[in-house]
Amino acid sequence: MTNVSRLFEPFTFRSGVQVANRLVLAPMTTWSGDPDGSVSQAELAYISRRSAGVGLGITAVGYVTAGGQGFEGQFGAEHDGRLESLRSLAQAIHTGGARAVLQIFHAGHHAPPELVGGDVTSASDVPSSQPQLAASEVPVRPLTGEEVLGIVADFGQATRRAIEAGFDGVEIHGANGYLIQQFVSGHSNRRTDEWGGTLEKRLRFPLAVIDEVKRVVAAHAAHPFLVGYRFSPEEPHEQGLTMHDTFVLLDALKTKNLDYVHVSLQEYAGGPRRGGNAARSRLEQIAEHLGAGTPLIGVGNVWTPEDALNALDLGASFVALGRALLLDPEWVQKVQTGRSDELRTTCSVHDRERLTMPEPLWTRFVGFMVKDRLTDAAD
């Protein structure tokens, strides 16, 4: 029997927040918010069940300003009227004993025009690479310098709301091609002012967001409060991010004394495509570059306890579970009690209620299964 004790070692973050183990509920889009932008009862049930057992539960992402909404059925963190909604979300995660982290973002040019009043904004006028958005006739408008500073402040205000709602931390979403990454990337950031040009200038926006979030935490948090940052290491576009760019980003993040960084990967053991050492996994190289001072959350195609242990061997401090917890909400409990042979990795089209999955998420989940002719879905 595999010795899984390493997965269940407690940890205390730099901020003082303590967690029971090294397993994390990955932030997964559910498309299941109420029409008014509040968290729905279905989403609360979904996340409460999957937070039982993990040390850290990270929410689906909430937008920090109305112009940053990224998809239908997304909940907001953009004004104080959201506090009750956010409070219910934090409580749902705490019910299972996990620490609750609110992920926050601005979609940038990935925002559907109809959700942002037709005003799609980004670092520059480069359109989204998402096919349905790339075909839009609505142009992308570069943000003014004043608007950039306003969005930095919006991240801070969303953090204040997370504190007041009872969360244990926030995760700044700088991954998956959204606005923060759009500023970092040479593909999407063509600016010539202080927010663009060299890589160092392109990093000013994420670093300003981090500084503002940490300022708000220092001013408003009466108890230990986490600040994490999520990033994607590479982009396929010409002038897009390479592993070299990511190493420079990591150097900058290390100076900010974050509680953790969270790498967004489809395959935790996958190798780099652009830059870095092709013979070694991206996770391994990122962990090595970070060093021991900054904990790293790894994610991507983790199904078994052996996968999770392998991710730790490659240098991750924590392992996030996405699809594994979608298909088996009791994954953690089964592994901890020696019942790994009972883990479920398939489902039928009749299993929505058994899996406590909101209808919008289930519809897309089944669509992924049919498309890929598999019995699981992408994160």
Residue 319 CB-density burial (10 A; 0-12 exposed, 13-18 middle, 19+ buried): buried
Of 178, 229, 260, 268, which one is the catalytic site residue?
178
Give backbone dihedrals phi and psi of 160, rounded to 5 degrees, phi first.
Answer: -60, -40
Specify whether 268 is catalytic.
Answer: no
| Enclosing H/E stretch for 230 | strand 226-231
Do 230 and 264 form a contact (C-beta atoms < 8 A)? yes
Token pair for 354: 């058994």
**Quick one: which of 59, 212, 173, 196 has its CA closest to 122?**
196
CA distance 228 to 193: 28
Do 54 and 332 form a contact (C-beta atoms < 8 A)? yes
Do 175 and 108 form a contact (C-beta atoms < 8 A)? no
CA distance 279 to 240: 21
Amino acid at 39: V
Residues known to be catalytic = 178
